[in-house]
Amino acid sequence: MKFLASVKVRLFLICWIVYSTFFATNVVREHYPAFALIDRGDWVCDRYAGMHWDLFRHTDGHVYTGNNVMGSLIAVPPLLVFDPLLDRLEQHSLAKLAEARAAGREIEATYDTRYPLRQKMFRQVKEAGLDLRFGASTAITSAFLMAPLCAGLVVLMYATLRARSVARERAVWLAFLFAFATPVFYRSAHLNHNVFLMVALFGAFLLLWPKPGEREPLSISRRAWAGFLCGMALSLDYAGVVPAGMLALYFVVSRARRAGLACALREALPCVLAALPPLVFLLGTQWAMYGDAFTPGQFVMPKQNEYVDIGTRGIALPSPEIFLKNLLSPSWGLVPFAPLLVFAFIGAGGTREEQRVLPRRERVWVWLLATSFAAFCAMNVYSLLQFNTGFRYLLPLVPLLFLLAADPLARLERRWLAALSCAVVFHAVVLSMTRHVSDTENDLRKAAVQLGVEACELEGYWTLMLSETPVPQSFVRLCNEGPQLPWLTVLRQTSPHVAWLGNPLLPAGVLFAVGALCVLLWRLGSRAERAGGA
């Protein structure tokens, strides 16, 4: 157990275990192109037609996804490793289907949920013999991609805090808060490109940020990797162009003030060259799917919702309503999903500049990046669809805002930090347990004649929001139904004939076992660390 002596190893393992325990069985749009690439060697999703809103039939007669497929490519390796197992699960499902049809029995596709679209999709997947394959695929991409990726991000945050002279005990404490009291926890549950975008942008920022005592210019490898990650950000999501552009400006402006603009532009060349491969991938996949390298999928897919006609394919002038909702909406707002990040707005008055986690220059650039990205998201009318996913669009800002919050948190009195930690971690655990979504926000929004009509003007808006939306209802569900795990909840809903799944003590038992394992790992590591020190 000597390897557990490393704090970073323990942080990684504990976060990986907990994130995997809370995985959700969401088959998302990134899954389908990954399935197609493994099965066919291309991006054609004909087999999955009608299984997701973002899948559409193009003019060539084939079905494609309307989103960038870099996130799907990242999901391919773990799915490819387990593909033989997935094939066997699919064969088992098909054999059961054939047996039922031969006996003249109706196909059992029960899904005890209030959402008819989920019932419809489950029946469609069941009749195609893909139920076990899809379920196992969500577990694989969650446990072997999303969970370790987010756990690695937590370790990176810990290392950053230590490099900025935060005491070790407090750095560990803050790293656990970052892991389990921010939306990193909530979004780690299933495959989604927003997490990839967050990791890419945070990694690029750390690479471009000179550490204390570090000489400039940055090494070519640092600049190249930062450029590659910025290119990845754009390849993952067109929204990545705003924060990636701000990071490019951060590097060029900072270097120009020290060495001149010509030197800064010359040193930025490795960044530009390294950004080209993911950008070429983006253009190449758009050409392969849509027939035009410079046409995003949103411009060729059919109208899927009422927001497409607002502005240019759902992009309009910044809306104060969307801006405020991205911050405050109980359906998906930053503050309701991560009250801990309010400390980012408080600051650490009276702290000497050399003791701050973020120096003055980096604080200015982080605020510029956060403001510009939030303004861009306020232009994206699709933000109003977050009611069915929870907090998502502003996720790339979470690590940067946490660094801003780290200054007051690092200096908070221990007893107050302990009380705060209990509250915010419990809040995040409840949201991750229930993953409650509601169409109330969407129904109210549809009642507005146009974007300029404020939703709060609708009669009874806030009463309905507080009674139906995810954050309040998550706590109501916990009180009424007890502890839950997302994957176990779906198993109960789709397998009501399995009696032991309905045992109300089962989720609590799993959570207790996982908690005990994490405590054991930490204590074994502490003992190994003391033995090594001795």
18, 514 contact by CB (below 8 A):
yes
pLDDT tens digits, 333-383: 999 999 999 999 987 666 777 778 999 999 999 999 999 999 999 988 887
Q: What is the residue whose two structure tokens read 């780290």?
A: 406
Backbone angles phi, psi at 106, to 5 degrees: -75, 140
Beta bridge partners of 64: 56
Higher pLDDT, 454 or 2: 2
| Closest by CA position to 212, among listed 158, 266, 161, 258 | 161
At residue 444, the pLDDT reads: 46
- Is the per-residue pLDDT at 443 higher than 90? no
Give yes or no for a cis peptide into 183 (omega within 30° of 0). Answer: no
By mean pLDDT, which of 20-24, 281-285, 384-388, 492-496 is the weakest?
384-388
At residue 461, the pLDDT reads: 46
Cα–Cα distance measured from residue 39 to residue 534, given in angstroms and rounded to the nearest whole number: 55
- Is the per-residue pLDDT at 450 higher than 50? no
- Is the per-residue pLDDT at 228 higher than 80? yes
Cα–Cα distance measured from residue 207 to residue 67, given in angstroms and rounded to the nearest whole number: 28
51, 124 contact by CB (below 8 A):
yes
Report, in angstroms and rounded to the nearest whole number, the Rg of the chain calculated over CA atoms. 24
Q: What is the residue whose two structure tokens read 């300029």?
A: 452
Cα–Cα distance measured from residue 82 to residue 79, given in angstroms and rounded to the nearest whole number: 5
Q: What is the residue whose two structure tokens read 């209802």?
A: 473
Cα–Cα distance measured from residue 199 to residue 177, given in angstroms and rounded to the nearest whole number: 17
Tell me, what amino acid is at 439? D
pLDDT tens digits, 118-139: 888 999 999 999 999 999 999 9
Angle at 474 between CA 470 and CA 478, to 5 degrees: 170
Cα–Cα distance measured from residue 170 to residue 411, given in angstroms and rounded to the nearest whole number: 9
Span 256-285, mean pLDDT?
Answer: 95
At 529, is the secondary structure helix, strand, or coil?
A: helix
At residue 94, the pLDDT reads: 95
Cα–Cα distance measured from residue 356 to residue 113, given in angstroms and rounded to the nearest whole number: 49
Record the tokens describing residue 197, joined without a space.
Answer: 């975008």
Mean pLDDT of the chain: 89
At residue 441, the pLDDT reads: 44
At residue 313, the pLDDT reads: 63
**Which residues lie below 8 Å from residue 11, measured CB to CB, with a gap of 6+?**
151, 154, 155, 158, 172, 175, 176, 179
2, 528 contact by CB (below 8 A):
yes
At residue 115, the pLDDT reads: 79
At residue 469, the pLDDT reads: 67
At 159, is the secondary structure helix, strand, or coil?
A: helix
Band (105; pLDDT cuts 50, 70, 90):
confident
Q: Which DSSP string do the residues of 424-477 spell out, in sequence order?
A: HHHHHHHHHHH----SHHHHHHHHSSSTTS-GGGSTTHHHHHHHHSHHHHHHHH
Cα–Cα distance measured from residue 446 to residue 305, given in angstroms and rounded to the nearest whole number: 10
Give per-residue burial for 219-251: e unless 16+ CB within 10 Å, then b. eeebbbbbbbbbbbbbbbbbbbebbbbbbbebb
- Is the per-residue pLDDT at 330 higher than 60? yes
**Which residues lie below 8 Å from residue 348, measured CB to CB, with a gap of 6+?**
356, 407, 408, 411
Span 207-220, mean pLDDT?
Answer: 83
35, 72 contact by CB (below 8 A):
no
By mean pLDDT, which of 81-90, 190-199, 317-326, 455-464 is the weakest?
455-464
Record the tokens describing residue 508, joined without a space.
Answer: 């609590």
237, 395 contact by CB (below 8 A):
no
Band (168; pLDDT cuts 50, 70, 90):
very high
Backbone angles phi, psi at 253, to 5 degrees: -65, -40
Model confidence, pTM: 0.93
Q: Are strands 63-65 and 55-57 parallel, antiparallel or unpaired?
A: antiparallel
At residue 304, the pLDDT reads: 65
Cα–Cα distance measured from residue 522 to residue 13, given in angstroms and rounded to the nearest whole number: 10
Helices within 291-438 (DSSP H only):
320-328, 334-337, 360-379, 398-410, 414-434
Cα–Cα distance measured from residue 71 to residue 237, given in angstroms and rounded to the nearest whole number: 9
Span 154-161, mean pLDDT?
Answer: 97
User: How close are the terminal C-alpha atoms of the chain, in Å?
Assistant: 16
At residue 486, the pLDDT reads: 95
Is the torsion defined by CA of 504, 505, 510, 511 positive or negative? Answer: positive
Domain ranges of the chain: 443-533
In what helix (H) or strand (E) does residue 289 lie, and over which residues does it extend? helix 269-290
**% of residues, the chain, pLDDT over 90:** 68
In what helix (H) or strand (E) does residue 57 lie, and over which residues does it extend? strand 55-57
Backbone angles phi, psi at 63, to 5 degrees: -100, 130
**% of residues, the chain, pLDDT over 70:** 90
